[in-house]
Amino acid sequence: MRIGIMGTGMVGQILAGKLAELGHEVTIGTRDVARTLASTEPGPYGNPPYREWQKKNPKVKLATFAEAAAHGEVLINATAGVAALPALQSAGEANLNGKIMLDVSNPLDFSKGMPPTLTVCNTDSLGEQIQRAFPKLKVVKTLNTTNAHVMINPRQVADGDHHIFVSGNDASAKAKVIEYLKDWFGWKEIIDLGDITTARGTEMLLPVWIRLLGALHTAMFNFKIVR
């Protein structure tokens, strides 16, 4: 399948690497290809600069947001939350319309120091902002409640006995995303929370996620909904 991923950061890299390994044709979109390739700085989570990562992942193509969006039959938004709407504007509505987009980003604001706050929450969410901005894009909020290593390999934590959520307005898009999550990454436990407004709930999990990261001294954990 042709997959377009928005965002060259750690989450985009990890998703792209896994999907390329599975045989998908993956293009990662960025604002400025030359600048992304020129960077020698490691990412904020210690991930290597994109040029180093690309040497180990030669099948993944780097392109503009518009080219990556045009390439993808299915899209993934893995930008930093504050960059999501500009990235998608740059991708161009015509390249988004009618497609399913897994939105894995979170509206984290690190500008005021740690811990980050959310740029939007409570009465709105980034998932809803994206859906409103691109009404013909089928936005499915998912995977944003766990770290990227767990996203692509849930069995790394407790043999996959924990949950991931989906939120979205289009039932058939959500059903397809649930299949992708199972087929691509091996997710077993997926809860459909409802329409895209339920993305408020999963984005608002981030503050406790960040505090748990501090309390547990590891990012290799996830939420399980125990009944």
Q: Which of 28, 70, 193, 196 touches a copy of itself by CB under 8 A?
A: 193
Q: Does 188 bind a copy of itself (CB under 8 A)?
A: no
Q: Does 207 bind a copy of itself (CB under 8 A)?
A: yes
Encoded tokens for 60:
């993944």
| Candidates 44-52, 96-104, 126-134, 195-203; binding stretch for a copy of itself (CB under 8 A) | 195-203
CA atoms within 13 A on the CB side of 70: 10
Q: Does 55 bind a copy of itself (CB under 8 A)?
A: no
Strands of the sheet with 100-103, listed across from one edge: 61-64, 25-30, 2-6, 74-77, 100-103, 138-142, 164-168, 190-194
Length of the chain: 227
Q: Does 185 bind a copy of itself (CB under 8 A)?
A: no
- Give me the 122-161 binding string for a copy of itself, x by CB under 8 A, dash otherwise: xx---------------------------------xx--x
Q: Is 172 helix (H, G, I), strand (E, B) or coil?
A: helix
Task: Let me know: does 38 contact 4? Beta carbons within 8 Å.
Answer: no
Task: Let me know: does 112 contact 151? Beta carbons within 8 Å.
Answer: no
| Candidates 18-26, 76-84, 170-178, 218-226; binding stretch for a copy of itself (CB under 8 A) | 218-226
Q: How far is CA 129 from CA 18, 36, 137, in A?
A: 28, 26, 12
Q: Which of 25, 93, 170, 192 touches a copy of itself by CB under 8 A?
A: 192
Q: Is 82 helix (H, G, I), strand (E, B) or coil?
A: helix
Q: Does 227 bind a copy of itself (CB under 8 A)?
A: yes
Residue with tokens 């409570």: 122
36 vs 117 by CB, closer to a copy of itself: 117
The H or E element spanning position 219 is: none
Q: In the complex, what is the shortest distance from the CB of residue 202 to a copy of itself, in angstroms, rounded to a whole number? A: 6
Encoded tokens for 97:
């319309």
Binding residues for a copy of itself (CB under 8 A): 117-118, 121-123, 157-158, 161-162, 165, 191-194, 198, 200-202, 204-205, 207-212, 214-216, 218, 220-227
